[in-house]
Structure 1
Amino acid sequence: MNANVYLAYDYPVLGAFWTAVWIFLWVLWVLLLFRVIADVFRDDSLGGWAKAGWLVLVIGLPFLGVFVYVIARGKNMGRRERDHVRAQQQAVDDYIRETAGGPDYSSDVEALAKLSEIRAKGDITDDEFRRAKEKILH
């Protein structure tokens, strides 16, 4: 029981700081690596062999491959990411509109045209036409 434990002295504050910095840089590196790999797959202007070449370079020599990729093709990485996010948002918006049954203007126009034909034939009164028209437009 006489064994003294000096944890604070065994690992100084500066050592803890440098450990935190290295962990932060390692996490940042892993995120950059996966972002580059995702960008290789996302880029439609690259052919299959070019994608395979970039992947071999990035996975085989990760530091060199990522740095070369960022220097050579990093200028448009943000644009490709932005286009991908916009396409995803558009797909979500379209799905919500389709599921919720939001206003479909082409069907509204067709419904109004049919309603107008029915009124022209005299099958409904002007008041019924007005109420049906309000129902379609709202």
Structure 2
Amino acid sequence: MDFWENLWGTIWFFFWTFAIISYFFALFAVVFDLFRDRQLNGWAKAAWFLFLFFVPFLTVLIYVIARGQGMAERSSRESRQYQAETDDYIRSVARTGSGASEEISRAKALLDAGTISPAEFESLKAKALSSSSYTE
């Protein structure tokens, strides 16, 4: 084989590899969207899966054309929901203020108010410092 045959063989190999990988990405996107779609009833989902099994390339193309807008909306909504849940979790964890400095400042406020004695303050302070060494 000469250089040009090797070059064209390599180009075709990469083209078909890219095409097959792209198809599988589209196929999985369609399958995940079918599971995510709550407006589509079970029989319609079963029909789409049946067509995906017997006529896969054409079905993926038709699905993306017919339901592509809904796919994008569902994906975007799910992404926003996950981001909001993550943000809420981060805020709840950051806001707790359960560090040693927060506990010591609360104990100091109790000491200043006369609610606890200096010995109790030192005990709470030691407890806060010993527990913070494991969590921070």
CA distance change for structure 1 residues 8 and 89 in 2, over 3 Å: closer, same or farther? farther
Structure 2: 5+ residue runs without aligned partners? 98-136
Deviation beyond 4 Å, 4+ runs, structure 1: 7-11
Matched residue type, 1:84: E
- Per the TM alignment, residue 54 of structure 1 is displaced from its structure 2 partner at its CA by 1.3
RMSD: 2.2
Where in structure 2 are the equivalents of 1:11-90 lying within 5 Å? 12-90=6-84
- Per the TM alignment, residue 71 of structure 1 is displaced from its structure 2 partner at its CA by 2.1
Counterpart-to-counterpart distance in 1, 2:83 and 2:19: 31
Matched residue type, 2:41: G
What is the TM-score with the length of structure 2 in the denominator? 0.62
- More helix by percentage: 2
Report how many aligned residue pairs link the two structures: 97
Give identity over the alignment, percent. 39
- Per the TM alignment, residue 9 of structure 1 is displaced from its structure 2 partner at its CA by 5.4
